[in-house]
Amino acid sequence: MSDRRLFLKTSAAATTGLALQLLSRRAWALSPGRRGPAPWSATQANPAQASSVAGRVDLRFRQVHLDFHTSEQIRDVGRAFDPERFAAMLKGAAVDSVTCFGRCHHGYIYYDTAKFPERRHPHLTRNLLKEQIDVCHKHDIRVPIYITIQWDRYTVDREPGWRQITASGELQGQKPFEPGFYGRICLNSPYIDFLKAHLAELFEVVPVDGLFLDIVAPQDCACARCTAAMTARAVDASNADARKAFGREVAFGFQRDLTAYIRTLDRSCSIFYNGGHVGPALRPVVGTNKQWVIE
């Protein structure tokens, strides 16, 4: 009984503290002048960099996810971008965290890349991501970086063998000549080697406050690699439930492995794997996410 009372006291105190913190943040964010630092900001060498206290990320109050999936048919990408105007618009809206794009669903990169110049958007006119990060950090705005994972049109067009295969032997997702980028990549493919090299360069060329890793979900794949792996584990690949259970472990194993790899590059950046719904099914990989983002 004493343990229960202590738990209730501690929970109540924590809830009250959180409520007061949120009210303080809201009052500051909506105040006309908003002079001085936000009441929840810690003093850091780089205040825009996520801080880690007891393994937690100091998330910001008003966060914006800036979608930027840009086809190769779009010209003059970034030509009219004005860094200071961009930051002023964010500050005027009390935005103190904005997710900007490293690589989109079309498969294109939005910064100067030496390792993968062929993936740089063909009509990108400037080092866009770096300029966005630099001006945002100057104004104490945090910038998580968006990286697509299982939807990447550039990759599946050039490496169809990395794409998921359905139980009926078809390429998963959209048909040839259909617009879009909805063909899922198998997480049990050499694509992972590219992804790690891509992330390694990202950490070399820009400051990384956090990573928003998009389209990561359990798969139902019958490609040659997955079928061979299931056979080796005595899993009946023709059984839909068994195949899906294997695909779930592939996805979870991918998250564990990639998080461990990212931590060799950076110990404190936030990490979130977005698969749409955040629910109990993700409990086995709670530790691979440093934050949850609710869409």
pTM for the complete prediction? 0.82
pLDDT at 32: 44
pLDDT at 56: 65
Mean pLDDT to the nearest integer, 103-117: 98
Q: What percent of the chain has pLDDT over 70?
A: 81
Quick: pLDDT tens for 88-109.
999 999 999 999 999 999 999 9
Is the pLDDT assigned to residue 200 strictly greater than 70?
yes
Q: Do 61 and 27 form a contact (C-beta atoms < 8 A)?
A: no
Quick: pLDDT tens for 10-54.
333 333 343 334 444 444 444 444 444 443 333 333 444 434 444
Is the pLDDT assigned to residue 8 strictly greater than 70?
no
The two structure tokens encoding residue 200: 């390694």
Continuous H helices in 181-223: 191-205
Token pair 């931590």: residue? 263
pLDDT at 26: 46
Instruction: Quickly list DSSP for 98-134.
Output: EEEEEE-TT--B-S--SS-GGGB-TTB-S-HHHHHHH
Quick: pLDDT tens for 251-274.
999 999 999 999 999 999 999 999
Query: Which range is least confidently modeled, 13-17, 176-180, 231-235, 238-242?
Result: 13-17
